[in-house]
Amino acid sequence: MKVSEEALLRSGFNPVELQKIKNNVDSYGGTLDEAIQDLANRFRALTWIVTGCLLTFIILVLFSSAIKIIAGGVAILFGVAIMMFAQPPVLCYKSWRFWRQNRS
């Protein structure tokens, strides 16, 4: 997939977000295409992890005591919050959306 700055701007990225991606590419190497693909992969991974956490919480609600439900819910919230801060969720989502619309 060939990624251009114009295509990214048309798909919903703003110039500030595009500059962040370009700075990352300049600092760590690679191409704009690889950066978009990596961000899209991060979004998919985050989606699977959050889904797994929600399923775990549902199992806690169904089969556990009240104190374990509260403790598990707090732990899951902290875990998901840390994962959200470890990556840029908005950039990851926009990259995933761009990748999904333009893959060929």
pLDDT in tens, 61-72: 999 999 999 999
Mean pLDDT of 57-85: 94
Is 1 a residue whose pLDDT tops 80?
A: no
Q: What's this model's pTM, rounded to 2 decimal places?
A: 0.87
| Rg of the chain (C-alpha set) | 17
d(C-alpha 36, C-alpha 1), whole Å: 10
Total domains in the fold of the chain:
1
pLDDT in tens, 35-54: 999 999 999 999 999 999 99
d(C-alpha 58, C-alpha 29), whole Å: 42
Relative orientation angle of helices 66-86 and 32-63, to the nearest 10 degrees: 180
Residue 40: what pLDDT? 95
Residue 3: what pLDDT? 85
10: domain range? 5-102
